[in-house]
Structure 1
Amino acid sequence: MAEEKQGSRHARKLAICRKAQRRHSHFYERCSHWSFNRSAEIEPIRWHRERFVLAGTALLITLLSGFIMPAWASAMRPAPEPVVHSLLPLALPRIAPTNATAPAVDDWQVVRVQPGQTLSDIFNARGLGMADLQKVIDASGNAKSALHDIRPGQEFDFLLDSDGSLKGFRFDQDQANRAIVRFDGAQPTVSIQQRDMDLREQVAHGVIHSSLYAAGDEAGLNAAMVGKLADLFKYDIDFVQDLRVGDSFTVIYDDVYRDGVRYGEGNIVAAEFTNQGKRYTAYRFKKADGNYGWFSEDGRPIQKSFLRIPVDFTRISSTFSAARLHPILGLMRAHKGVDYAAPTGTPIHAAGDGVIKFKGWMNGYGNFVIIQHNKTISTAYGHMSRFANERVGQHVSQGQVIGFVGMTGLATGPHLHYEFRVNGVQRNPQTVTLPQPEPLPAVQLARFRAQVVKPQLARLTELDARVRLARTNTPARSDN
């Protein structure tokens, strides 16, 4: 009975298997070889597939264990005990109550002088009158002299009350000091504030291609500094007639900074100018009397005994000549001077220190001046429109204005007729050898060479070497 039941169950299992195989025949067809049975009736498993399945299963179990086990371990870890902080009372100093407030900042109004303005114009523009200006002048004390001659660009500061009345006024007493006048107390007060002045050394090098000013601008110099450079070498170089393309200059100079802001150009410390292959130098040096001057490398003053040209001219209208057709008389006659054409009213300067020997009308020359400089040398100036205030017998200094350009006498246009006379004989002012000034005394000359020439010459030489090296390394420009 038991065997029958067992056989019935076996038959039922076989029936279920057959039914499953029929229903899922496609699966059994693909996976029929997946078997661990080693019977001869069934094809043995292919080992490479078996190994692949086993390795994949093992890898999956390993990955799951790597994620599950750390999470389980963290969950089982006991919670950390909280850190207990202790608060300790500290005794701090008491801050005394105060009703003080931050000091009020004065609201100074800065006004810059415009061309043509007067100080009274500036006060009127701020709603102030002549009484306020007079009050400032009276309270300024020794600083009031700075208010007598104002210039465009100069700054004045006003401090006004809420009703527009004047509480304070500030102005520059000089370059390094500012005067502050206050009217908000019982009596007007004036104080002098020293400004923070700083000199910063600058270096520039230029090469002449068209003009000195163009070369200076290319080198980074402003017009004022180019003018100072020209003034240094004007005794040796005629910057209208003598400049050539390729001439060069190197200059070491100071820029002036006030309160950290650039205030303006300072003085030239050292300079070198090469004109037509000839080298000229200038060094600034403090003399024994405390005054500064500029000297060449051999210790002679840059300022020569005579100006080569005593007027700012536009062109040379007539040169020194032994025979010239006179433009008015129509006759051939010598022209024993140089004519410098310039606008009427251009100032004429004394070529050197001397005494006025003649001042008046001279036939052909019009208004005429003669200056005697020493026993042998004199200079003459003709065709002036008018004279300056000097009298005959009065001493004049080099550069002093003695008259103004005109066309009095026999002249076809405004110009200066200038003569240079040696023992009464006219010489060509453009080519005559001018007397050399005396060099510094021996003691000062030694100090000048050691303290000024030696270090500054080394710097100028180094700069020239750098410029030459830069030119050598610059590739040639191609025209293609």
Structure 2
Amino acid sequence: MGKVITLFKLLPKLHQILLCILVFVTLIIILMPSDDVQASKQTVSSNGEYGLNTRYEVPLAFRTPTPPSGSEAISMENAESRKQPLVQPSVHRKVQTTTNPVATQADVAPLLNEKHFQVKSGDTLAALFSRAGLTAKDVYDVTQLPKAKKNLLKIMPGDALVIAKNDDGQLVQLRYHIDKISTLVVNRVDNGYKESIASKTVEIRNKFANATIKSNFWNAGVVAGLTPNQIMQLATIFGWDIDFALDLRKDDHFAILFEEEYADGEFLRNGNILAAEFSNQGDSYTAVRYKDGSYYSAEGRSMRKAFLRSPVDFKYVSSSFNPRRLHPVTGQVKAHRGVDYVAKVGTPIKAAGKGRVIKSGYNQYNGNYVFIKHNDTYTTKYLHLKKRKVKTGASVKQGQIIGTLGSTGRVTGAHLHYEFIVNGVHRNPRTVKLPKSEAIASKEKAPFAIVSKKLMTELEHNKQVQIASH
């Protein structure tokens, strides 16, 4: 500053005067208010409140967006439609889940002074209440309520509670999400607390999926958007007709209709498979779910057959049914009167059908073995087991675990030797014609036919829409 003053004094007198005038004019221009300035743009009164009946310019971030009109709206609709899947869920059903007493809208409305608390590792309800500024008496009073006691005393890390207090620090409301559908609500009343369960309305939508097998069934299911559980469920439904380890071929295909559950537009979980169709080596199989939870063909015959096509989840067949096979140990021609299924040692072996165990024992050739007589016509045999799970004389159900896969007896490696005998004659378990499944009960035929026609028509419609879209 001293140097500036010294330089100013060295200037001629006239220059000093002109410089002072220039500085003075500049200051006036800077300080003078502009006519275009709107002082009221976001001006509030001296007490910090907006005035009544006064128009203020609101920032765009706080405005409600207005929908586009005219051609712009049509353009956006077309853009949105392109985002949607080609096949839409075709049926929407609402299921009201209720638990008495049911909370009203007022019970669950957000309150002032409420805070969210997340359960931490090692937390108890008392510790969480203490963090919220509540007392041990509050814990006691709330847990005297049956539903609160049942749910709040077993809170887990990651669970969340919403706690609202009044100006005196008293608990006014507590909300705890039991699951995606139900919320426990505890409200203060004159004489203590009351509890209720607020339940969302569950909406059931039908969803369609289909795929063609290119490499294997599992990959095809994943490409179709199915979950691992749905893929296994589909295999179980058709497991009596199709051997999913040996019978599938490239270009076999399937289509299914299944349920999806939503609450307030939020996806909850997949529901039941309602209808399905599976094409295997040119043969078509259908399945429809009925109200009893069982699956039947579109014509009304049970998908559950008298016998499983294979009694073990195997990796491959090491030796097929062959009346003139060379024995791998002795090298002599000896009929192989069953099928050898290779799998991991300890893999469960299932009874192919219900029946009675006529033999459960051990010898040097068969190792551990189990023979089951199903009726006067059919008998099945299971050889080389690691362990036997049933005893002679026991009754077994279809699918019951009767032992585990092993390598006992005269064998070259771990496997299950499985025989299927019809009227005393050994038949190939993989090709023998199994007895027909039972038809649906006579009194259910008419109502089932209505359900079957509706679901199979819907399945076929979705298939045609999918074909047209490609």
The one-letter code matched in structure 1 to 2:408 is T
**Alpha-carbon separation, structure 1, partners of 2:394 and 2:204:** 41
2:260 corresponds to = 255
Q: Name the SS of the counterpart of 1:283 in structure 2.
A: strand
**Alpha-carbon separation, structure 2, partners of 1:411 and 1:156:** 54
Gap regions ≥5 residues in structure 1: 1-100, 111-122, 149-153, 162-166, 472-480
Aligned match for 1:126, one of 122, 126, 136: 122
How do 1:196-207 and structure 2 match up within 5 A? Answer: 196-207=201-212
The one-letter code matched in structure 2 to 1:359 is S
| 1:344 Cα deviation after fit | 0.9
| 1:257 Cα deviation after fit | 3.0
The one-letter code matched in structure 1 to 2:453 is K
2:376 corresponds to = 375
1:453 corresponds to = 452
1:387 paired with 2:388, answer: yes
Q: Name the SS of the counterpart of 2:323 in structure 1.
A: strand
1:210 paired with 2:210, answer: no
1:222 paired with 2:227, answer: yes
Residues 251-273 of structure 1 show CA distances to partners (whole Å, capped at 9, x for unaligned) of 10012335643232211111111
Q: TM-score, normalised by structure 2?
A: 0.62
| 1:416 Cα deviation after fit | 1.2
Q: Name the SS of the counterpart of 1:357 in structure 2.
A: strand
Residues 368-417 of structure 1 show CA distances to partners (whole Å, capped at 9, x for unaligned) of 111221121111111111122x3332222111111111111122222111
Q: Which has the higher contact order (CA 8 A, sep 6+)?
A: 2
Residues 40-62 of structure 1 show CA distances to partners (whole Å, capped at 9, x for unaligned) of xxxxxxxxxxxxxxxxxxxxxxx
The one-letter code matched in structure 2 to 1:330 is G
| 1:240 Cα deviation after fit | 2.0
**Greater displacement, 305-314 / 198-207:** 198-207
The one-letter code matched in structure 2 to 1:126 is G
1:303 paired with 2:312, answer: no
Aligned length: 338
Residues 229-262 of structure 1 show CA distances to partners (whole Å, capped at 9, x for unaligned) of 1111111111222112221111100123356432
Q: Name the SS of the counterpart of 1:321 in structure 2.
A: coil
Task: Determine if contact 2:343/2:415 at 8 Å carries over to the other structure.
Answer: yes
2:63 corresponds to = none
1:56 corresponds to = none
How do 1:409-448 and structure 2 match up within 5 A? Answer: 409-448=409-448
Shift of the 207–128 alpha-carbon distance from structure 1 to 2, 3 Å rule, reads: same
2:15 corresponds to = none
| 1:315 Cα deviation after fit | 0.6
Gap regions ≥5 residues in structure 2: 1-109, 129-139, 164-173
| 1:427 Cα deviation after fit | 1.1
**Greater displacement, 260-269 / 314-323:** 260-269
- Give the superposed CA RMSD: 4.1
Task: Determine if contact 1:294/1:301 at 8 Å carries over to the other structure.
Answer: yes
| 1:126 Cα deviation after fit | 2.0
Task: Determine if contact 1:156/1:170 at 8 Å carries over to the other structure.
Answer: no
Q: Name the SS of the counterpart of 1:360 in structure 2.
A: strand
Residues 138-187 of structure 1 show CA distances to partners (whole Å, capped at 9, x for unaligned) of 9989x989x99xxxxx98736699xxxxx998756xx97678999xxx99
| 1:352 Cα deviation after fit | 1.1
**Alpha-carbon separation, structure 2, partners of 1:155 and 1:302:** 44
2:47 corresponds to = none
2:342 corresponds to = 341
Task: Determine if contact 2:123/2:157 at 8 Å carries over to the other structure.
Answer: no
**Alpha-carbon separation, structure 2, partners of 1:464 and 1:294:** 21
Task: Determine if contact 2:357/2:392 at 8 Å carries over to the other structure.
Answer: yes
Task: Determine if contact 2:384/2:405 at 8 Å carries over to the other structure.
Answer: yes
Determine what percentage of the aligned residue pairs are the same residue.
39
**Alpha-carbon separation, structure 2, partners of 1:465 and 1:284:** 22
Q: Name the SS of the counterpart of 2:285 in structure 1.
A: strand
| 1:321 Cα deviation after fit | 0.8
Task: Determine if contact 1:140/1:181 at 8 Å carries over to the other structure.
Answer: no
Shift of the 176–433 alpha-carbon distance from structure 1 to 2, 3 Å rule, reads: farther
